[in-house]
Each structure stands twice: as C-alpha cells, then as structure tokens.
Structure 1
Amino acid sequence: MYQDELAQIWHEQKNYFSRLPDDFMADNQGIKKIIFYQRPLKLKKDRIGRCSLEPTKYRAATARLEVQKFRYLQDVNNLEYFERYTDQWLKISEENRQKLIGYFECHEKITVTALKKLLGVDKLTKFNLEAKNLKGNTTACEVRSVLGAVWDNYSEDQRSELVEDLLSIKKKSALKTRLIGCWKLHQSQALQLCLLEFEPGHSNLSLKAINKLLPFLKQGDIYSDARKKAGYGYEIEEIDPQEKLNAPPVTANPIVNKGLHELKRVINAIIKQYGKPTSIRIEMARDLEMNTKRYKENEARQNKNKKENEAAVTAYRSLNLGNYPNHDDKIKYRLWQEQDKRCAYSNKVIPLNGLFTAEVEIDHILPFKKSLDNSYMNKVICFTAENRTKGDRTPKDAWGGNEEKWGQITAAISHWKGLESKVSRFYQTETELSQRDFISSQLNDTRYISKLALEYVSQLGCDVSVTKGYVVSQVRHQWGFNDLIGETDKKERTDHRHHAIDAVVIAATSRSLYKKAVAEIQRNKLKIAPPYPHIRDELNERLKHTIISHAPQRKLSGGLHEETGAGFIERHGGLVYRKNFH
C-alpha cells in the first residue's frame, strides 16, 4: 500500500527531479531502500567480546587490515602438502611462502586449485587446509577495486589510516569530505569508497594483541610459536585467590550474563554464611559430553551449514543487494532451499528476487512468545500476508478448521525430508504447547554457562572439578532419588527441586566414587551404594521444606501492539485489520 502511494507521488513529481539517478526508485535501492528497509543496527561496544590475550581490550573488527593479515598469515604458515614419494607432510619453502602472501593479499577467496597452480604442484597433491574456507585480504581487495594503482602506491601506514577512516567515520557525507580533502581523491572515487561494504564481524583478539603477534607471523612462525614469542605463553597464570567472587565476565548472551550473576549471588551468600568452600563441583550440561560419533555428526552438520551459507552469499550478491547478507538473510536462503523454494503456508513459489524483501518473512511455527523456541527447527519462511493471517497462533489452530487449506499445508510438508521435528510442530495446538517443557530449548545457553562458570569460580582458589550430567543421572537413579518428587522413576523436570537432588548427588560423590561410577557405566554394571543408609529419607524430609527462589522480573516486556495486519480494502469502506476469533 505504502509503496504504491510512493510510486504515485514519484510519477507526478519525477519531471521536477530529472537529475536524480535512474535507480532512484529501483527495488532495494534509492528512496525505497531508505524508507522500506531497516538500516543495519549499530553494534554497541558492550556487545563486542573481550580479547582472550588482552582481557581489558575489545576484539578488533575483522575488516581491519591488521586482522586480515593476521588471518591469512596463519593459514600460509600452517600450510603443508603431502609428499607421496616420502609419505610425509612437508612445509612449503620460504620462496613459496612469499608467493602465497602476495597472492592472499590480492585475492578475496582462495581456492585449492589456484594454490596448486601457483606453487607448481600436480593436481593429486594434497594440502592440509583443503577443507578450510580460505580467505585473502578482502578489505584490501575492496579498496583496490576502487583506487587501483593508487592503493598499491600507498605505504602500509597510509593504507591502515585510510581503512581506519572508512571503518570509523559512519556519516557518509563527512567521510566523503575527508576522502576528497585529506586523501585528495576524485569525487567519484570518494563516493564509491563511501558505498563499499566490508567483511562484518570481529576477531577473537584485540588490535593490541594482533600487533604483537604479527611480526612473528610475518617471519613464518605458526600461531602457537608466535604467541609464546610475543609473551602470551600457554602456562597457567597464577592468580591470587579471592575471598569472594568478583563481577562475572560480560558476554553477548543476556541469558548467560544473568546466569553468571545468579551464580555469583548464590556463592557469595554461601561464603558469607559458611565461609569459603574447600571444593566446588560443577555439573556440565549433558550435550557437552560428545562422543566420537556425535563429533563427526556435528562436524558434518557444520560443513553442510557452511556450504549453504556460502550459497546464500552468492545468491545475495547476484541480486546486487550487497556483499555480506546478514544472519537472517542466510537463514531465509537455507529455509527457502529446504522448503523447495515455496511458502510454508500457501505452497506458492517464492522467487529469488523476492526472497530478501519485506514480502517474505521468517516465521516461528510455534509462536515465540508462547514457546520461547527460537531454534532453527521452529522456523520457516512464508509470505508476509500468510504470516499476518496466522498471527500469534500455531498452524493447527490457524488453519486446522479449514479442511482445504489444512490439507494443502500438510500435503506440502509431508515431502520435507529429514525434518520430522519441524513437521511435528505444525500439528501442535496451543493447548499442547502450554504443556510442553521448554527447558531443553535453553540447552545452548546452559552449555555456555557451564564452560564460563568453570573458569569464573576458579578465582576463589579452591578445588574446582567437573562432573558429567549423564553420570549424575545414573547415580541418582541408582540411589532411588528420582521418585522423591515425581510419581515415576524418571527425573521430574517440571519441579525445580530436582536441582537440589542433583546437588546432593554431586556433593556426595567423591572423586574416587565418581571414577568408579564412570568405569562401571562403561561396563554397563553400575552398582554403587549410597554414602550412608538413610540419605534418601533425610533428603526426602529436606525437600518437603525446600522453597524455590526465582529471580524477580522487574521490567515490562512484550509487544506494545497486537500483531495484526492492516490494509485498505475499498469494498469494506476503508482501513481494515484482521482479528482472530476463538
């Protein structure tokens, strides 16, 4: 509706603005892009992670020249090839290393075929980094595409200063003025530089750490050696034990931050009441215990996602939308391919040129506000109009009463291969949804918290050890604790007192007992007696008087307005909106 109105206004006034570019009203460009497409959100500094080698410094932007060189020098220095005649892996010569450095500096994407040709080896030669997505200096390539020989004639310091300007000056008019006035560039070159799109993201290290490591990487050292020479050894740093936990590390995950603050509050309260503990045991999330088979499955899944993301980037660039699609655009493309390029609710074909527009949306099959499920398996792509019709309902509730429509949807999703978990969500009603346990949907956060908690509590200087969730569950079952708060011999997750039971099991399991349990579980012969005869009765009595403490919710949340689509329909007398009736 709004785009049609804009088109009419432009049609009437374009004769008065003949000097505007031809693509002024093109899709995803000009005035349409300004009005109808949200600009990228500015990343707050407190959302950027800290450097692992210089904890007081923030991580450096990936687009910086120093980071680009740091990345490709690691790959060049790690590169080895398999010598078939001697049956061993060999490092490349210094002469070839310099060739590669020059090649990586001038090319964005590095292929194995190009490397073999550059080094003069046959096609059957194997490199150790063939599975890796090798990248060159993408920032330098972007700027060189505009400046050409001018860029090559700049000194290294001048290049860094220019890129610093391009990355730090956010206002395009100010950047253009500086490029023309300070860098003496032609107006057309300055304009093209202002429109460049650089590689997003951040390195794991800060600029300070990278600048310390770069001289050694340039000499040919691999990262581990460069780190030692730069003074960042791998030895365990001795820290003075603290009497209580200080502020926890800040992460980009608000749920993890909240969990660590709760951990700090609980442990410091225990210290205040009982004194500092001599030992702390942390139960790791179950999914951290990944065996070889699951590692391979996880690796295969990551490789598949990587290829799909690369295909999304290629498709995005083919539409001249930019060089770097955001996370949601990549998800859109993956879902589009997965759904046979069709809308999940109408089964109509979604054209590629419409995929990255506002006409197509990512929808949560089970409404996020009711399910809190933001996993990939709860997402589909659909036309925006279909999403508005569905509203804040499950597909079953939205269309289950329409036999023809529901039959069309179920017939379409029946052809989705390997997506049984996703398909099953279509058949759930809101009633069933309210009965679901969403603890499993928070497992990713739990994994991360477990890792950080282990590092965080170590500052107390006491003995910190880890127990595996699976071992704890087996011992808990062996001791007959599962039915203390439930009706069956299964862990009752809906009652939060199960955390107290786990804590008792972990505390009562000494290291020797834990090792014995692991050994017996591996032989499928677990038989471990409780630490003393009446522990179950004592625990049962304590649980009767246990009060669960929940963190208070002090802020308002949720949508300000109901999510309903509005539109102008002449036959109904003007502006109308959809309303769900139950």
Structure 2
Amino acid sequence: MIKYRLGLDIGIGSIGWAIISGDSKAARIENFGVRIFESGELDQLGKDRKSQQRRGFRGTRRLVRRKKHRKDRIKGHLQNIGLVKIEALNQYFETNNQDIYEIRVKALDGKITPEEIGACLIHFANNRGYKDFYAQESEKNNLDAEEEADYEALNNFDRIYKSSNFRTPAECILAKFKKDGQEYPDFRNNNFKEVHYLINREYLKNEMHQILIEQSKYYGSLSPASIEMLDAIIFKQRDFEDGPGEENEKFRRYSGFLDSIGKCMYYKDCDRGFRSTVISDVYAVTNTLSQYQFLDSVTGEYHLKPVVARELVDYLLKTGNLTMTEVKKILKDNNLILKKSDLSDDGALSKAIKYLKAIKNSIESSGLNWMDFIDEDQFDAENYSKLHQMGELISKYQTPKRRKDELKKLPWMTEPLLKELCLKKISGTSNVSYKYMFEAIQAFMNGETYGNFQANKLKERQENISPEHRCMILNTLDDPEIKDNPVVFRAINETRKLINAIVRKYGSPECINLEVASELNRSFSERVEIQKYQKENEKSNDKVKKAIADLLQIEVGDVSGAQIDKYKLYYEQDCKCLYSGKPLGDIGLVLLDKTHRYEIDHIVPYPGFRVTGSAGRKNTAFPVFFLSLPSFIH
C-alpha cells in the first residue's frame, strides 16, 4: 500500500477524484477519474437535467479551447519556419479589418503578405468545415433531427457551389453571399435565417492546399513538409478511441476509453461488460422484472417458477423484444399474476432492451436469418456467440473506419450486414462484468429474483472483506435529516462507495481534501430560484446583445462577451470612469476599442470600468486599495 492523499470534488451528479502521492516537491498523480451518477433532479418543468445543460456549455468551452490551441500551433509553426513572427501576426489582427474571403481569393493567383497567409490559415482553423463522423457510402437513413438539418445545410451549399464551377468555397461565398455595399459576406447561420449552409471539410482542405502551393512560389519556407504539417494542425481529427494527446506519448495521462473501462464492483479482476450485448440486455430485463411480484393463483404464494423465467428469457431471445403485455400473457398461461407497486415503471422493460431489437433489425434487413444467430448458446462465457462479438465490436469502436475494419475480421460478416452495423450509434458499459451478469441470469432462470441475488452477493462480498480493511470501510449513512434531502443523500452515498473502492485498492489515505458543490447546501426550491435568476439574466443579456448589434450595425452573433460587460457597466457608472469620474466618451468607441484604452477591473466584489492610465498607482495595487486613497475619496 502506498502513502497518498485523496482529493474529491463532490457535485450533485458527479464526483471527481485524484490520488496524489509524494510530498509537495515531488507530488505524483497515481490515478484520477470521475464517478458519474444521476442526481434524480429535473428542472422545474420536469424536462432536462441541469447537468445536461451544464454539459452543453462545457462542450462549447472545450471547442473554444481546442480552436485556440490550433491557432497557437499555427502561429508557432509559421514563426519556426521563418515566415512571420507571432508579434507581427497579432499586430495584424489588431489593426486589419480586410475581408478574409477576398484575401483567400487573391491568394489563389498571386503573392500575398506573410501576415495575410497567417490570417488565411487561422481562418481555416476557426472554420474547418463539416466532417460527418459516421460518413458511409450507404444512403443516409435513420437520421435524427440534428443530422437531417446538417445534411440539408450541406446540400444547400453544394447546389450553389457546384452550379457555377467555383474553384474554392471562398470564391463561391464572395460571389453569392456578398452584396454590393456590404463590407463582409452574409454567411452566418443565425437562428432567424430560414436557410442554413455547411461546407464540406474536403472543399476547404483543397482550397488551403491551392493557396499554400501558390504562395510557395514566393516563400521558400512553405516547403511540402511545412504544408503537410499545417494540414495536420488544422484538419487532423483524432479517433474517438485514442483519447487526447499524441498516441505514442510515454506519460500521456489518458489513452482513450478502451484503456480506462472500470472494474466490476463484485469481481475486481473483471472489466465491466459492454452494454450493447445480448448478455447485458437479458441481464437488464431480469433486473427490471425484479421490481414486480409474481402471485401463484393456485397456491396463493409469491414466487417465480423456473420454467416461467426460462420461457420469458427464451421469448426475449427469439423475438428480440419483450413487452409487458407479453410478460402478462406468459404469466397467465402458467397461473401467475403480476403484482406491481406504485413505484413500478412499466416503461422500464422496453428501455432495458437496447441491443436485441437493433441487431435483429440489422440482421433481417441484410437478408440473413435471425434464428441462425440466436440458436447459439448466448450464455457461454468461454465461447462468446456471434451476436455478442458483434455487440462488443460496435461498442468498442465508434470511429467508422476502425469499426468497419474490426467487423470485417469476423468470418461470417457480409457486406450488407457490415453497412448496417457501421451506422449503429451505440456505446457504453454496464456497471458489472459479464461473469456477474451470467450468474444473475442463471439465478433468475432458477426462479430467484435479481433483488435477492444481489442481496446475497453483497452479503458475500461484505463477509470476504479482510479484517485489516473492514474497519476502514465506510458504512451506509443512517441520518434521517440527510435522507430527507435525496440530492444530498445520493451525493454522500456515491462518495461513500467511491472512497470504499479506493481504500480497498490503495489502503486508507493520509487525508482527504474535499471541494463540495454549493448546490449540495441548497434546497430544490433555492436551486429553482437560482435557475430562474440565471434565465432572467440570460434574457437581459440577449436584449443588450441586440442593442449593441443595432448600435454597431453588426450581427447579434458577432457581439462579444466583453462588449456586453462594457455596455452594462457604461450605463451603470453613468457613462463615467470609475476612478477619475471623467466621461468615458462615445459608447460606440468604447465598444469598438482594441487598444485597451477602456478596461474592466474586477473590484472586490464587483467589476468596475475605467480608462487606462486614470488609476495612477492602480498598477501596483488592487482596485479596492485604490478606492481608499485620500486623493480618490476627496
């Protein structure tokens, strides 16, 4: 066992954790991860979870961060090859407002400046075009609403682009989207526009290569190797399975989800099983049926006959589906009556069957016989069935090319079935291993409900804990006050499970550092009020955006966050500098300022707005100290 410190970041739907060994001078992260769970809390309308909304914002932040990383790499590469310095590029962006599409078209047939080359490349990095992650040769079937909108937008641009034999997308955009008198083309996909456009990524890659090949005639630093590197920086997209960073990096912290699949809570030496397999579907169904009771109409006893349990599983396998109507019919034929509580969810059974329905449709659509596949033993842990092997490969490989290559290795794979399976969007793992699932299914077919089976397993696991670790394991919290708050109780209970799992593997930590989300200390009504305030603030910002757009004659989508802050503070401070009290001047000049003359200071505890240089000694002190100076008070 190692000496370590445990760090926990506890939220209402997730717990981030890290195990750190060594002292402050030689600290090392031994392991880290996130435990995600459902808080059970919906918004006040009973729709989206707040965690889903936050995840959307977090995804946007990641995209922004990745764009910045690409742009920084472009600038660094151009400086390294001696084409243009980073300072010169930054100065160019500060002072130049020329239409980038005009520069891109000009670059096709003649020399442009190094700064303009950099501007073109950064524009490509910001707008890389659309690449279909699930692109296949087959027709686009079973698309969701977002995908349909994307393909419609692609087709809209293709019709215009191919109608006049344009060399590049930039030529097309200048010709079709820039009207006389306009400073820039109107090519943004704003929500209020009826027609949207997307550009195929390959079109933009071809345009970039045309530009760089033309410019290489004038700049020797743009060698084939440099162009290849720029192509990789701008357009390379890692496979989902690889994870971030360089594939061969020795100390890469995360190497893709395939290398980070969790372990079964009951069998610590076994990985969790993939969710989209026959075994996982049957296990989920047996789990779901355990929420019901089965009354024998002849004897009056509550029990599930093994013959009935087997019949339910056989029906599920043969038809690829099992509904509550079919369950009740099978039970009735065997003199059993289904009894359910008020908490039972009839829709849970349908949700439990994720793989069987999908794979049966794919097999039959490919002209193959379902019974040829399902007649195999589906519960042989030593020799997995064809259906299981296909489900595992689909779950493991999300990148279409990888998935296709792996599926091709299966000896029974046909071309029609390959096309069907490459389009399936399924992923994820179960919480337990196949070994545990096999045992649970076998127990169910012997007439034991999953609830009883799980209780026996938990008891067995508790008995097997060594005396050394038994005293270190956290017991279930039994506090009526905390149990009254389901959000807090769920977060604490999940934290307990996580700490126990870490202690079993690494021993007890020297200390535990906690960071707790503020949501845990608030009631549901308080969280609703906060969300209501956030939505009102969002509406207020939307009004400010529109006012700025009207004032500056720009699109609403072009208004920056800094401009919103400046606009609000400008009027909150009565159009005056916070420090000197002098007028700030025209609001339009303030909003368009790129010279840092007008800056926002984050004064404790509220931001303020000032003219650069008006603060005097402000450069060496916090604003709150400046406010206390006699010269300011008087």
Band of TM-score, shorter chain? 0.3 to 0.5
Q: Which has the higher contact order (CA 8 A, sep 6+)?
A: 2
TM, length-normalised to structure 1: 0.37
Larger radius of gyration: 2
